[in-house]
Amino acid sequence: MKPFLRACAELPCAALALLLYPLFALAGRISTGRRRTSRALPRLLWGATPILTIATGSEAMRRRGYESLDLVFRPYSIYSQFTVSLERWARFLPVRVALPFLAFLWALPRFDVFFGFYDGGLLTGTILAPLEWKLLRWAGKLSILSAYGSDVRTEKATRALGEFCCCTDCDKRVLYCACRDEIGLPRVARARRDAAAWLSMGDMIEYTPDSRNDLFYWPIEVAALPAAEAAAHDGPVRVVHAANHRMFKGTRFLEQAIAELRAEGLAIELDIVERVTNDEVRRRTARADIVAEQFLIGWFGYFAVEAMALGKPVISFVRKPEYLPSGVDCPVVSADPRTLKETLRALALDPCRRQALGEAGRRFAERIFSLEAFGARMDEFVRSLWFPHPIRAAATPPARAPLTSAALAPGTFAVAAPPGAQDPAGTPAAAGSAAR
């Protein structure tokens, strides 16, 4: 549905929702007030952008004793295992238009803390989306927002990061990212004004001033992913790459590097995984000798986390060491398009190093991104917001720890590598990152 026609169709629903809002907000404020007075844990709602981390985040908090629900209207084809999916109702146009407003009113008296993204929660994409966090605050609710990338990424700030960035190959402005300052900056401003906390990590901290950047909110069920060593084989070294958005991942640079290495006689092959389910991605990743993730964005994504949980060595461009967790060795091998070919060559010729990186990656995933690790961090954070008064609490980032190395150089490990490991150039890996 075109934006203008959608807005016209939404207008009566939005007007009715605003008319009913005071009643539902009052009921929500009373309900939340009683829970806070009784020192009960808050009820959590995650949604409604169908990113799988809202499902894993919700599950992590349920294991910590919270009443926690993840809700989506229409899941993406690659993942659909959400607690509540309203897809069957969203198939009908009149219902689809009204559904976000109905869900928002329904949730006000039933939940206390709302997890969303900078571009919205239950009201994402509707004409009331710019008011969502304010309406929740007026109803006595806490909003915790996290960046997923395209919701905050603007072209001007992105291009300022350097030659290799998310905009390098992009030819579809605004379609995938906020892009324009007049779209992205107000989203962040609304978060800072009305949300209880605004979170970020990796390259996304470049767009979210004063955000809390040390919660690393991409939880994964590591225990459900037994480390899968690539089966011994006499054929080429297998490189797996998930190319759901080729122009952002830098897929063409990887294809070129592999082609050149093969032409030089190196036994190496590329398996590009795209337009398949998450389960299929994991199955093919389990067969990888090397996982090559992205070489432009400047921060590894959820695919890299899954690959590390599976015990695979990962190549991914990490622009700055301060993006990384403090005090934890991160075995991601950083490479941009200039160094990718030689980084691949070095790993392809060194199976012992690949094994060491895979084992270190598994430990890293368990320590930082497992449901248990994330749940402990987020539990502490939610309690710090929920129990003190007033409701709105400042989310002050911890002091930045000093770096023990120069700026992260492409081709080196992102942080400390396994003992004795060296980068393709033969220099020791960078160590000692800090997180905001």
- For 65, how many CA atoms within 13 A lie in the half-sphere containing its CB? 7
Residue with tokens 């295992």: 81
Q: Which CATH number fits domain 3-207: 3.30.70, 3.30.450, 3.40.50, 3.10.450?
A: 3.40.50
Closest by alpha carbon to 219, among 90, 58, 62?
58
pLDDT for 418 equals 36
Residue 312 has pLDDT above 60, yes or no: yes
Per-residue model confidence (pLDDT) at position 269: 97
Measured between alpha carbons, how far is residue 215 from residues 231, 324, 406, 414 in Å? 35, 11, 24, 19
Q: Is the pLDDT of residue 409 over 60?
A: no
Give the mean model confidence (pLDDT) for residues 334-351. Answer: 97
- Dmax (CA) for the chain in angstroms is 72
What pLDDT shows up at residue 275?
86
The answer to whether 14 and 126 have CB atoms below 8 angstroms apart is yes
Judge whether 240 and 326 are in contact, CB under 8 Å. no
Q: Is the peptide bond before 390 cis (omega within 30 degrees of 0)?
A: yes
pLDDT of residue 391: 43
pLDDT band at 229 (very low <50, low <70, confident <90, very high): low
Q: Which of 64-78, 157-171, 340-354 has the highest mean pLDDT?
A: 340-354
Q: CB of 309 within 8 A of CB of 282?
A: no
Beta strands 290-292 and 237-242: pairing type? parallel
Reported as a single tens digit per residue, the pLDDT across 273-295 is 998 888 899 999 999 999 999 99
Beta bridge partners of 48: 72
Do the domains at 3-207 and 223-369 have one common CATH topology? yes
**Is 88 a residue whose pLDDT tops 60?**
yes
In tens, the pLDDT along 193-203 reads 999 999 999 99
* Model pLDDT, residue 403: 30
Cα separation, 142 vs 264, in Å, equals: 58
CA distance 172 to 189: 25
Lowest mean pLDDT among 41-55, 99-113, 303-317, 389-403: 389-403
Lowest mean pLDDT among 93-107, 219-233, 370-384: 219-233
SS3 (DSSP) at 239: strand
Question: How far apart (Å, rounded) are the C-alpha atoms in residues 286 and 397?
Answer: 36
State phi, psi for 115 to the nearest 5 degrees: -95, 125
The pLDDT-based confidence of 83 (bands split at 50, 70, 90) is very high
Percent of all residues in the chain with a pLDDT value above 90, rounded to a whole number: 76
Domain ranges for the chain, please list them. 3-207, 223-369
Strands across the sheet containing 43-48: 84-85, 67-72, 43-48, 113-117, 142-146, 197-199
Q: Determine the Cα–Cα distance for residues 284 and 272; give it in Å rounded to an integer.
A: 10
Write the DSSP assignment of 123-136 as a string of letters. Answer: TTTSTTGGGHHHHH
Per-residue model confidence as pLDDT tens digits over 355-368: 999 999 999 999 99
Question: What is the domain class of 223-369 according to CATH?
Answer: alpha beta
**27: Cα separation from own chain's centroid:** 33
Report yes or no: 322 and 402 within 8 Å, Cβ to Cβ: no
Q: Buried b / exposed e across 197-236, counting CB within 10 Å, b at 16+?
A: bbbbbbbbbbbbeebbbbbbbbbbebeebebbebeeeeeb
pLDDT-derived band of residue 232, with 50, 70 and 90 as boundaries? low
Q: What is the pLDDT of residue 9?
A: 87
| Residue 374, Cβ density class (10 Å: 0-12 exposed, 13-18 middle, ≥19 buried) | buried
pLDDT of 411 over the 50 cut: no
Whole-number percent of the chain with pLDDT over 70: 87
Instruction: For residue range 133-178, list pLDDT tens digits in order.
Output: 999 999 999 999 999 999 999 999 999 999 999 999 888 888 889 9
| Contact assessment for residue 342 and residue 258, using Cβ atoms and an 8 Å cutoff | no
Is the torsion defined by CA of 154, 155, 158, 161 positive or negative?
negative
pLDDT for the residue 234: 74
Whether the CB-CB separation of 229 and 263 falls below 8 Å is answered with no
The candidate with the shortest Cα–Cα distance to 53, out of 302, 245, 241, 293, is 302
223 vs 141: CA distance, rounded Å: 34
Query: pLDDT band for position 69 (50/70/90)?
Result: very high
What's the CA gap between 247 and 76, in Å, rounded? 20
Chain mean pLDDT for the chain: 88
